[in-house]
Amino acid sequence: MSTVKDLDALLAQFADETVPGCGCIVMQNGKVLYEGYKGLADIEKGRKVDENTLFRLYSMTKVIVCTAALIQFERGKFLLDDPYYYYFPEYKDTQVVEWNGNGGYTTRPAARPIRVRDCFNMCCGLPYPSPKGEHPTDAAMNAVRAKLREEKGLYTLQDDVRAMGSVPIRFDPGKRWLYGFGHEMVAALIEVTSGMTMGEFLKKEIFEPLGMKNTGYRFSGDQADRMITLYNIQEDGSYVSDGGARDRNHQPDAVYEGGGAGLFSNLKDYAIFTQMLANGGVWKGKRIIGKKTIDLMRRNMLNDDQMQDFTNTYLDGYGYGLGVRTTVNPAGCSNTVPGEFGWTGAAGTWTSIDPDDGFSAVYMHNTFPNNEEYHHLRVRAVAYGLIE
């Protein structure tokens, strides 16, 4: 069995050797088992990481957004097997682009429509496009966004999602797993079924009920000053600040509120959110979502072929549910159990949630690269050793 001293020592090692600063909270059944902060939030200013430090969540936004979408599912606003074009007609005649074997590509009608579940499961065929646009789908997505910027300047989530309906996808819906645009489509579904923006819906249904005052899309008050500096790790191990270049959508005049990324938070807020999920959808007597819906969320949805696209050494033993990785087989390398779930953010944030034991862990740093496999799997091993 590990102890809080082991986790404290691990975070101190990270802050000494691999990241400028980091933090972690581990909870079980509403009780804090460990809370610790190590290192610096801003090297140049000497500002330390503490309970008030904010972190860019990047893809850990997905867990919150997919939870929000499942609240709408519980209200009968959509079904998982509904064609997505029921809500966004722009996806009525989806095309698939294929290599023709003669040095070029051709398009054909998709074998079936994109369904809502394909968006949750990352099986809709739309990636996060490469800036270089090597694949025709990527090139088309980049062109769509260039046109949106030209015509609208700052464009919204729904502008983005509706415009992508014209893009030919990489494969027939549901055939493969491909990390990408699906959760923007899930977020847009929340907007059209609720009549609210993502920010409004999350504030009403999740943030305010849980008291998450440090979580959002836009800076207010002193939040910009409390944000951890995002550092790029150089080959020699030194840290170079990005100068806030990636924070455009956090500014008060921004309009895009994404489903796949875009939120910031602190450790305490996110830990409360994960404890709500770990304890059957309830926090301090307030029910946010149903227990059985959380079970649906953490059920592996991938078939054998899709699992081949998903599996790597970092995700060994995991499948993919409704917007979250989920343990299907600990495979001898993890002390978690089947049904443990969570996700990771591109700059180093990570969460793990185990409803069977009312347990959750949240770890955060903000660097590129995030070196996720080195940090997160070590935190996972020690954190799960704390379960009482």
SS3 of the chain: CCCHHHHHHHHHHHHHHCCCEEEEEEEECCEEEEEEEEEEEECCCCEECCCCCEEECHHHHHHHHHHHHHHHHHCCCCCCCCEHHHCCHHHCCCEEEEECCCCCEEEEECCCCCEHHHHHCCCCCCECCCCCCCCHHHHHHHHHHHHHHHHHCCCCHHHHHHHHCCCCECCCCCCCCCCECHHHHHHHHHHHHHCCCHHHHHHHHHHHHHCCCCCECCCCCCHHHHECCCEEECCCCCEEECCCCCCHHHCCCCCCCCCCCCCEECHHHHHHHHHHHHCCCEECCEECCCHHHHHHHCCCCCCHHHHHHHCCCCCCCEEECCCCEEECCCCCCCCCCCCCEEEECCCCCEEEEECCCCEEEEEECCEECCCHHHHHHHHHHHHHCCCC
Cis peptide before 369 (omega within 30 of 0): yes
What values do phi and psi take at 366, rounded to 5?
Answer: -135, 95
Structural domain includes residue 247:
yes
pLDDT value, residue 118: 98
Mean pLDDT of 213-230: 98
pLDDT for residue 252 is more than 80: yes
220 class by beta-carbon count within 10 Å (0-12 exposed, 13-18 middle, 19+ buried): exposed
* 107 alpha carbon, distance to own chain's centre: 31
Q: How confident is the model at residue 331 (pLDDT cuts 50, 70, 90)?
A: confident
End-of-domain residue from the set 167, 194, 221? 194
Mean pLDDT of 64-68: 99
Do residues 98 and 247 both lie within one domain?
no
pLDDT value, residue 21: 98
Do residues 10 and 53 both lie within one domain?
yes
Do residues 213 and 317 both lie within one domain?
yes
Q: How confident is the model at residue 140 (pLDDT cuts 50, 70, 90)?
A: very high
Instruction: Enter the tokens of residue 99.
Output: 């290599």
Structural domain includes residue 67:
no
Distance between CA atoms of residues 75 and 189, nearest Å: 13
Distance between CA atoms of residues 239 and 216, nearest Å: 27
Distance between CA atoms of residues 388 and 374, nearest Å: 25
Q: For helices 182-194 and 61-74, give the axis angle rounded to 10 degrees.
A: 40
Do residues 363 and 259 both lie within one domain?
yes
First to last CA, the chain: 10
Distance between CA atoms of residues 127 and 198, nearest Å: 21
Structural domain includes residue 177:
yes
Mean pLDDT of 175-180: 98
Do residues 138 and 210 both lie within one domain?
no
End-of-domain residue from the set 194, 217, 245? 194
pLDDT for residue 359 is more than 80: yes
Above pLDDT 70, what percent of the chain? Answer: 100
What values do phi and psi take at 46, rounded to 5?
Answer: 70, 20
Q: How confident is the model at residue 210 (pLDDT cuts 50, 70, 90)?
A: very high
Do residues 147 and 273 both lie within one domain?
no
Q: How confident is the model at residue 100 (pLDDT cuts 50, 70, 90)?
A: confident
Do residues 174 and 241 both lie within one domain?
no
Structural domain includes residue 40:
yes
What values do phi and psi take at 239, rounded to 5?
Answer: -115, 135
Structural domain includes residue 244:
yes
Instruction: Enter the tokens of residue 6.
Output: 């082991």
Do residues 234 and 318 both lie within one domain?
yes
Of the candidates 274, 345, 262, the one whose C-alpha atom is nearest the C-alpha of residue 59 is 345
Instruction: Enter the tokens of residue 242.
Output: 């990005």
pLDDT for residue 266 is more than 90: yes
Structural domain harbouring 364 = 4-57+198-384
Q: Beta partners for 216?
A: 264
Q: How confident is the model at residue 388 (pLDDT cuts 50, 70, 90)?
A: confident
Q: How many domains does the chain have?
A: 2
Do residues 52 and 130 both lie within one domain?
no
Do residues 238 and 374 both lie within one domain?
yes
pLDDT for residue 354 is more than 80: yes
Instruction: For residue 355, give the CATH number of its domain.
Output: 3.40.710.10
Q: How confident is the model at residue 1 (pLDDT cuts 50, 70, 90)?
A: confident
pLDDT value, residue 51: 98
pLDDT value, residue 90: 98
Structural domain includes residue 155:
yes
Whole-number average pLDDT of the chain: 97
Structural domain includes residue 95:
yes
Mean pLDDT of 61-87: 98
End-of-domain residue from the set 159, 194, 229? 194
Do residues 79 and 127 both lie within one domain?
yes
Structural domain includes residue 351:
yes
What is the per-residue pLDDT across 4-25, written as a single tens digit (0 to 9) for each?
999 999 999 999 999 999 999 9
Distance between CA atoms of residues 53 and 51, nearest Å: 6
Mean pLDDT of 227-232: 98
Do residues 97 and 207 both lie within one domain?
no
Instruction: Enter the tokens of residue 90.
Output: 């722009």
Distance between CA atoms of residues 287 and 279, nearest Å: 10
